[in-house]
Structure 1
Amino acid sequence: MLELAKESNAEASTRQQKDGQAASIWRSRTFLAVFSSYSLSLLGNTFHSIALNLWVLQTTGSAKLMSVVLITHLVISMLFGSFAGTIADRTDRRTLMWVTDIVRFVLVAAIAILVYLPNVPFIWIVLLTGLVAFAGVFRTPAFQASLMEIVGKEQMTQAVGAISISDNMIRIAGFALGGIAVAAFGGAFAIAIDAAAFLVSAVLLLFAGKFPYAAEKNTTKPKTAFKEDLAEGFRYVLSNAFARAAVILLPLVMFFFLSTFMLIQVMAVQIWQAKPFVFGLLEACIPLGYVVGSILIMRLDYRLKYRGKWILGSILLMGPVFIAISLMPTATIALPLIFLVGFLFSFSTTIIFIALRVAIDHAKQGRVFGLLGSLTSIAPPIGLAVFSTLSDIYGPAIIITASGTAMLLMGIFAYSRMKSIRNFN
């Protein structure tokens, strides 16, 4: 199996089209299996989140208990991201991914059984949920750091674009399907589907065959202690201009973008008084714009020049677009601008994830993505709490304007000072 996988990957990476473009990622069996595994794992996460939260509300009626589950996920992601990233850089990443999927399958299946049984103490659900979140923290940096070794630089744009599209479609579909499953079949059945998704994800990773890892390439180097590798990851981010800029910029973009989009939803209800159909279109505009942007990035691939300027330019432009949205008299008129924001968000995030894999030392990518995952997991909840509080005091339009102004200033600052990103091509 190993030899067949190597042969398949070699053929996929060397096969070039007549116009000079890299061969399609969809011809690589390894990428197809890993991509499908990632998508199923993400679906499992999304499905589990909505199914468990709805079950808590239906059975207890307590928003406080539901928030306990959400906070458990948040705290674990924040605390253990760098730890998990260091593990991903020291071990066989494919093994780490399928082991975490198996662990989550067992844990989530146990949650489904407990949910089915009557009078189970809620603390057991919280503890198992925390363990599921802990296992999931390890999978993310392992997957992110492995992508370069699966597809290579020539196909990285296609791969990251495909993953970005999958992210949006699965998160939307996962929340919808999770809610439907809980309503139709109950929480236990919905959570059992989630467990099955993790099991199939693990099987797909085994089917993918082995792929090269930085840890395997560095077997001649002296083995360092875990604590040294963990500290080295932080030192690397501080000393590498590109990694440092990305770790600062991405959480800030997430902070402002997701918080401001929440206020646009509030504005649609409170000020624009949008009808349900228009509100549905508004909800769809952001992911639709993101998907269109990701497809365009995939299509342009190597022909897209000055990619660092596209990253910073899209961040800079989001600010004025947010300000313009806050001035719109109706939701219908604002829809094209909301679509544009989703499009710009795609360029500001998808390209930077491509750049990270190209610019960062592969042996340290797990630690960089682990730290980045910690920061990006905590930034949106903080932003939502701050922006919702300010919106209640001053109104959503004013806070959207302030957020757009802050994004404009942030974009100008980043363009002038973050040369490592600006000069990326």
Structure 2
Amino acid sequence: MLEIDQPSPERQAQAREQVSIWRNRAFVLVFSSYSFNLLGSTFHSIALNLWVLQTTGSAKLMSLVLITHLVASMVLGPIAGTLADRVDRRKLMLTSDWIRFGLVGLIALCMTIEATPFYVILLLTALVAIVSALRSPAFQASLVEIVGKDSVAPAVAAITIADNMIRIGGFAVGGAAVALFGGAFAVAIDASTFLLSAILLLLAGQFPYQSSRQQSQEAKPTFRADFLEGFRAVWQNTFIRSIVLLLPLVMFFFLSTFMLIQVMAVQVWRASPFVFGLLEACIPLGYVVGSFLIMKWNHRLQKRGLWILGSILLLGPCFIAIAQFDTAPWALPVIFAVGFLFSFSTTIISIALRMNVETDLQGRVFGLLGTLTSVAPPIGLAVFSALSDTFGPALIITYSGAVMLLISMAAFVFMKNTRTLE
């Protein structure tokens, strides 16, 4: 079902003529900006949460910080996406970086003043979350403007690899910085990453393939009209509608099931710390390997819709198989395969959206997707945790895999536009 077709001579010539993304100055600078930005966001999250827990001893207050970020992503996704389709996306990202540099620096200052009420920290955190939510769809939608459609696949794969590595490293570095230097200094370091991100964006200059609508001087529709147009476009375009339905479901089951695999490793397999660490590394390692292969095979991948649905289809049996193992070492290769398959489904979805959705609509599409994919995992974690406490992790993992298999089979039957995507 899944195949890699040999490229035609025409496509081979096109691949040779195509300029590497690493020779695209704008991409290299924006990619570096994104990396510092993501490091800052990850670093900020762990550093602030640890500081709250250390200074207040309250898990509830730490949860309140997490909920603040979640609510901002949920509420502002479509609004931020609409804004990203109306203004210069580079300027929107720049504004976000400058504001967060100031806000996070102010948080670090407040953390050094013992009399600062907690609600001030929480208010500043909410503002940081709001500004961060405005940046995300602007970046996602600007990739085509930076590299052009011909180079979207390797650019998305490169960003995916960096995303995983930075998230893992960011949590580790953030925790170490709090332990070594204290929360306030760690958050001050975090503020500097947003400053670096802004400087790199300035150096990148205007994006080479800026969308025609943003370049136009003609009168634009109202914000409300653009906002509603985004929802209409998602509903009327069968491909976009399929992805908006499918991707949050995949995130719901994937992340929730992976959490139960961790529970199973402790409760059922009695995994040693070393084996548990290997288990934790298998998913991101598989994801990075999958993304690297996508970047390398960009011009050889055919029938992308089958790659997307086939990868999702195979996730279900992998989860069912993992639930049947008695010890963790036997499960490690299958867990690696899960990360690999998850990469092939989500990364190719990201590429397909950029290739098949109008550039001037991508902010709204990615804004809506960001909202749905940020809401689905916490709901799944809550539901799956409760079920696992009652019935045990192995049974729930098995049922999760079976439901994922049914969903992917239904997608093969009913999502023709996705299945036939080239």
Instruction: Give the Cα separation in 1 of the matches to 2:396 and 2:303.
Output: 33
How far did residue 24 of structure 1 move? Answer: 1.2
Deviation, structure 1 residue 420: 1.4
Deviation at 1:343, TM superposition (A): 0.1
Contact 2:73 2:133 in 1 (8 A): yes
After TM superposition, give the deviation of residue 313 of structure 1 in Å. 0.4
Matched residue type, 1:260: T
Q: Secondary structure at the match of 1:90?
A: coil
Partners of 1:150 and 1:238 lie apart in 2 by: 28
Q: Which runs of 5+ in 2 are unaligned?
A: 1-11
Ranges of 4+ aligned residues in structure 1 off by more than 2 Å = 16-23, 212-218
Q: Distance in 2 between matches of 1:19 and 1:267?
A: 46
| Aligned equivalent of 1:195 | 191
Could you tell me how far apart the structure 1 residues matched to 2:109 and 2:13 are?
52
Q: Which residue of 2 aligns with 1:144?
A: 140
| Letter of the structure 2 residue corresponding to residue 25 of structure 1 | I
How much does 1:402 deviate?
A: 0.8
Distance, in Å, in 2 between the alignment partners of 1:368 and 1:193 is 33
C-alpha distance in structure 2 between counterparts of 1:186 and 1:310, whole Å: 46
Confirm or deny: 8 A CA contact 2:21 2:154 kept in the other structure: yes
Q: What is the aligned counterpart of 1:335 among 332, 337, 344?
A: 332
Contact 1:89 1:215 in 2 (8 A): no
Corresponding residue for 1:34? 30
Q: Deviations over 1:292-322 (max 9, x none)?
A: 0000111100101111100000001000000
205-214 vs 217-226, greater mean Cα deviation: 217-226
Amino acid at match of 1:318: L
Q: What are the equivalent positions in structure 2 for 1:246-261 lying under 5 Å apart?
A: 246-261=243-258
- 127 and 358 in structure 1: CA distance in 2 versus 1, 3 angstrom threshold: same
Aligned partners of 1:112 and 1:191 also within 8 Å: yes
Distance (Å, rounded) in 1 between the aligned partners of 2:182 and 2:340 = 37
Aligned mates of 2:14, 2:150 — CA distance in 1? 15
Q: Judging changes above 3 Å, is the alpha-carbon distance between structure 1 residues 306 and 128 closer, same or farther for their aligned structure 2 residues?
A: same
Aligned to 2:80: 84
Shift of 1:20: 3.3
Which residue of the partner structure matches residue 287 of structure 2?
290
Q: Which amino acid aligns with 1:66?
A: M
| Contact preservation (8 Å) 2:213, 2:360 | no
Q: Alpha carbons of 1:217 and 1:130: their partners in 2 closer, same or farther (altered >3 Å)?
A: closer
Matched, 1:344 2:311: no
Cα pair 2:316 2:400 within 8 Å, conserved: yes
Shift of 1:117: 1.3
SS in 2 for 1:223: coil
User: Could you tell me which residue of structure 2 aligns to residue 390 of structure 1?
Assistant: 387
- Is 1:411 matched with 2:408? yes
User: Secondary structure, in 3 states, of the residue corresponding to 2:345?
Assistant: helix
- State the partner residue of 1:304: 301
Q: Counterparts in 2 of 1:18-167, with a 5 A limit?
A: 20=16, 22-167=18-163
CA distance in 2, matches of 1:373, 1:223: 25
Cα distance in 2 for residues equivalent to 1:371 and 1:218: 24
| Compared CA separation, residues 216 and 233, structure 1 to 2 (3 A) | closer
Partner of 1:420: 417
The answer to whether structure 1 residue 234 and structure 2 residue 231 are counterparts is yes
1:382-425 per-residue CA deviation (whole Å, 9 max, x = no partner) reads: 11011001100100001100110111011101111111111111
Matched, 1:372 2:388: no
Separation (CA, whole Å) in 2 of partners of 1:346 and 1:221: 41
Q: Deviations over 1:31-55 (max 9, x none)?
A: 0000000111111110000000001
Deviation digits for residues 26-77 of structure 1 (CA, Å, limit 9, x no counterpart): 0011000000001111111100000000011111111100010000111111
Alignment of 1:151-230 (within 5 A): 151-211=147-207, 212-214=209-211, 216=213, 219=216, 221-230=218-227
Aligned equivalent of 2:5: none
The secondary structure found in structure 1 opposite 2:206 is coil
How far, CA to CA, are the matches of 2:229 and 2:211 in structure 1?
16
Separation in 2, partners of 1:19, 1:70: 44
Question: How many residues are matched?
Answer: 410
- Find the aligned partners of 2:83 and 2:219 in 1 and give their Cα distance: 17
Assess if the C-alpha contact under 8 Å between 1:91 and 1:215 holds in 2: no
Does structure 2 retain, via aligned residues, the 8 Å contact 1:54–1:182?
A: yes
Q: Aligned AA for 1:240?
A: N
The percent identity for this pair of structures is 65
Write out per-residue CA displacement over residues 318-350 of structure 1, whole angstroms, 9 at most, x where no aligned residue: 000000000011001100000000000000100
1:85-143: per-residue Cα shift (whole Å, max 9, x none)?
A: 00000000000001100000000000011111113111011100000000001111101
The 1:95–1:174 alpha-carbon spacing in structure 2 relative to 1, beyond 3 Å, is: same
Partners of 2:69 and 2:322 in 1: CA distance: 33
Closer, same or farther: CA 249–19 of 1 in aligned 2, 3 Å: closer
Matching residue of 1:268: 265
> What is the aligned counterpart of 1:317 among 314, 317, 320?
314
Cross-structure match for 2:378: 381
